[in-house]
Chain A
Amino acid sequence: MKEYTKLLCDITKPGRTGYRLPPDELKDMEVEKGIPAGMLRQDEPALPEVSEVDVIRHFVNLSQKNFAIDKGFYPLGSCTMKYNPKINEDMAALAGFANLHPYQPEETVQGALQLMYELDEMLAEITGMERVTLQPAAGAHGEMTGLMIMKAYHESRDDHKRTKIIVPDSAHGTNPSSAQVVGFDVVEIKSDKSGNVDIESLKAALSDEVAGLMLTNPSTLGLYEENIQEVARLVHEAGGLLYYDGANANAILGISRPGDMGFDVVHLNLHKTMTTPHGGGGPGSGPVGVKKHLVPFLPAPMIEKKGDTYYLDEDRPQSIGRIRAFYGNFGINVRAYTYMKTMGAEGLKKVSQMAVLNANYLMHHLKNYYRLPIDRVCKHEFVLAGLGKKELEVNTMDVAKRLLDYGFHPPTVYFPLIVPEALMIEPTETESLETLDAFIEAMAAISKEADENPELLKSAPHVTPVRRLDEVKAARQPVLKCAMPEGPQ
């Protein structure tokens, strides 16, 4: 099974099943009666027919071809692919959490409510906010929630002309799209030469039509916004609100807080910063925190406490309403809670210090082999502009593919868009000096190969389960359906 690359439709055999059903007791009933003819299926469904062991081997074999954080170094910039401690899984699997039903009476789920209440408090403390909703199921979902809150705030003041959201070009790609989804017009402003928001462009964009600004800090360049207080002051003076994309919070835990910087709304990605599973399905969790003046608009319900009893408070007349069924991805929030409790306040601060140190260590060494467009102390990640002069011959995609042969997951490539041939590298705090050195060695070797044997890079990867995939063909002629074999099923 070493070279196994089949699809289920390749191994299907008519009549082979993984189950045996009891005799059909309903075979004399005319179940078709009462269903319109047009709604009735004429053919058998075209599903693969395989045995249980076929299915197990199929998926186990495919899963072993995957790269995962538990297999190796995964410096995928902007994604914070850090190790997920296994104690998180133990806690989420506790019967009292894992077997809960969301419709259970409140008095029987006090522990779960308490955990969510305390997670709200802890996240509020870390971000400098008043309250936090745990409902959003992902980062972009959190952005949407935050923007809806901002909109509700302006409308509650009868201020209906604020239709614009300012987004710097170094923001996460989801920021402008979230603003669009909520019905705002997006105004993009440029970064200056050192990667900060260009203050003159910001001033020019501000008016009484601006609902707010969305800032990613540190930015996708991995740089801390040096003019953050000036930015906050200008936006507030123009009557706008400040939204903090906290996806890069791994750089600032226990060191600086969006609330203290003057921000009104923030979202965190627990699947990045708080070590909950990430990639391959997650699911994610994107809690949103707000300052006091925006608390009334938070999604209903919120978890409140009366005496020693926790309850879901639906009585929130100014709320933007429910934004997800039940109350967020509870199992994921248990993992995040576990992580924060095991690390403690000092531990979380150390996380950020080490994440920043690791990134700077890599940047310091890799700038000898790759082009570094902005040479400034970085935070949790940094962006290289490819190999520099060699990029016409060998580009960033070739470097990324070659890294697979060395056993590393490649960094994020071609993002952010403001850096040509971008390689965005985020080591995270969980990697040892030995791992970082091995990565530097591989990157240096690839740079040398680009000079001496560029063909090696252009035809990479060489040792992966499949060779270089044709992305252009995949995008232009996608095959989205597994073709079942012809003939009687």
Chain B
Amino acid sequence: MRVMKDLLFTNEHEWVDVQGEEAYVGLTEFASKALGDIVFVELPEVDEEYSAGDSFGVVESVKAAADMYMPLDGVVTEINTELEDDPGQINQSPLENWFLKFKITNKSQLDELMTPADYERFCEEEA
């Protein structure tokens, strides 16, 4: 069970769950609520290499389409193909439904991500 306090966050509303040399990425509850019912997800290919801030995929709801961004430099090692078949799971439990797992290539960038407390303040400003 993933909980907010163990995660880091981007200002594009991705959560990051760092597990040693790798990390999972997903969409925060705040963002999934703002988007509404998610109806489509586009994921990248495994082995794709990204820099922090690159768009790696798309989430589409009945209201809007939004890009998903890489929180850190990295190489995709696994994608959650279940989301492509049933994107509604993201609305039900945004923290459990990761989009992709990647190998972190530049750990120093971790300092630039937001802590849970920072992210909470950030969302309050956005609301």
The reply on A21 being an interface residue by CB < 8 A is no
Is A472 touching B39 in the complex (CB atoms < 8 A)? yes
> Closest chain B residue to A477 by CB distance?
B39
A413 to chain B, nearest CB (A): 8
Q: Which residues of B contact A407 (CB under 8 A)?
A: none
Could you tell me if A414 and B40 are in contact, using CB atoms closer than 8 angstroms? no
Across the interface, name the chain B residue whose C-beta is closest to A416: B64
B34 in complex: contacting residue of A420, A475, A476, CB < 8 Å:
A420
A380 CB, nearest partner CB in chain B, Å: 23
B88 contacts A476, C-beta separation under 8 Å: yes
A476/B64 contact (C-beta < 8 A), A420-B34, A420-B127 known: no
Contacts of A417 in B (CB 8 A): 64, 66
Residue contact B39 to A476, C-beta cutoff 8 Å? yes
- Taken together as a complex, chains A and B put the C-alpha atoms of A471 and B64 apart, in Å, by 13
A427 and B53 alpha carbons, distance in the complex (Å): 39
1/0 contact string of A241-281 vs chain B (CB within 8 Å): 00000000000000000000000000000000000000000
- How far, in Å, is B122 (CB) from chain A's closest CB? 14
Which A-chain residue is minimally distant from B62 (CB atoms)? Answer: A471
Closest Cβ of chain A to B51, distance in Å, is 13
Q: Report the minimum CB–CB distance from B21 to chain A (whole Å).
A: 30
Chain A residues contacting B88 (CB-CB under 8 Å) are 472, 476
Chain A residues whose CB sits within 8 angstroms of the CB of B63 once the complex forms: 414
Contact with B along A443-478 (1 / 0, CB 8 A): 000000000000000000000000000011001100
Residues of A within 8 A of B66 (CB): 417
B37 adjacent to chain A (CB < 8 Å):
yes
Distance between Cα atoms of A471 and B62 in the complex (Å)? 7
Determine the distance from Cα of A417 to Cα of B39 in the docked complex, in whole angstroms.
17
Q: Residues of B contacting A471 with CB < 8 Å?
A: 37, 62
Closest to A472 in B: B37
A476 CB contacts on chain B under 8 angstroms: 39, 87-88
- Please, which residues of chain A bring their CB within 8 A of the CB of B127? 420
Interface centre among B37, B63, B88 (most CB of A within 10 A): B63
B64 contact set on A, CB distance < 8 A? 414-415, 417
Chain A interface, number of residues (Cβ within 8 angstroms) = 8
Q: What sequence of 0s and 1s flags, for each residue 395-429 of chain A, a beta carbon within 8 Å of any chain B beta carbon?
A: 00000000000000000001101001000000000
Assembly CA distance A472 to B62 (angstroms): 6
Chain A residues within 8 Å of B40, by CB: 475
Report the separation of the CA atoms of residues A472 and B87 in the bound assembly, to the nearest whole angstrom. 11
Determine the residue in chain A with the shortest Cβ distance to B40.
Answer: A475
For A472, list chain B residues within 8 Å (CB): 37, 39, 62, 88
- Inside 8 A of B34's CB, which chain A residues have their CB? 420
Shortest beta-carbon distance, A247 to chain B, in Å?
19
**Cβ distance B27 to chain A, nearest Cβ, rounded Å:** 15
Q: Mark B80-105, 1 if CB is under 8 A from A, else 0.
A: 00000001100000000000000000
From residue B55, how far is it (CB to closest CB) to chain A in Å?
A: 10
Bound together, the chains give a CA A472 to CA B34 distance in angstroms of 15
Q: A413's closest neighbor in chain B, by CB?
A: B63
- Chain A hits for B62, CB < 8 A: 471-472, 475
Q: How far is the CA of A450 from the CA of B7 in the complex (A)?
A: 38
Within 8 Å CB of B39, what residues of A? Answer: 472, 475-476
- Which residue of the partner chain B has the closest CB to A418? B126
B residues 33-53 in Cβ contact with A at 8 Å:
34, 37, 39-40
**B126: nearest residue on chain A (CB-CB)?**
A420
Contacts of B37 in A (CB 8 A): 471-472, 475
Q: Whole-angstrom distance from the CB of B67 to the nearest CB of chain A?
A: 9
Query: Could you tell me the distance between the alpha carbons of A185 and B39 in the complex, rounded to whole angstroms?
Result: 26
Docked Cα-Cα span, A472 to B39, in Å, equals 7
How close is A240's CB to chain B, nearest CB, in angstroms? 21
Query: Closest CB of chain B to A278's CB: distance in Å?
Result: 23
Give the docked Cα–Cα distance between A475 and B86 (Å): 12
Closest-CB distance, B89 to chain A (whole angstroms): 12
Question: In the complex, what residue of chain A is closest to B55 when comparing beta carbons?
Answer: A186
Cβ of B83 to closest chain A Cβ, rounded Å: 13
Encoded as 1 (CB less than 8 Å from any B CB) or 0, chain A from 194 to 224 comes to 0000000000000000000000000000000
| Alpha-carbon distance between A415 and B66 when the two chains are bound, in angstroms | 13
Of all chain A residues, the one with the shortest Cβ separation from B64 is: A417
Q: How far is the CB of A193 from chain B (nearest CB, A)?
A: 11
**B60 / chain A contacts, CB cutoff of 8 Å:** 475
Residue of A nearest to B60 (CB): A475
Residue of A nearest to B63 (CB): A414
**Nearest chain-B residue to A176 (Cβ)?**
B67
Residues of B within 8 A of A415 (CB): 64
Can you pick out 10 interface pairs between chain A and chain B where the beta carbons lie within 8 Å of each other?
A414-B64, A417-B66, A420-B34, A472-B37, A472-B39, A475-B39, A475-B60, A475-B62, A476-B87, A476-B88
Given contacts A415-B64, A472-B88, 9 further A-B contacts (CB under 8 A): A417-B66, A420-B34, A420-B127, A472-B39, A472-B62, A475-B39, A475-B60, A475-B62, A476-B39
The 8 closest A-B pairs by CB, nearest first: A475-B39, A414-B63, A472-B37, A471-B62, A476-B39, A417-B64, A475-B62, A472-B62
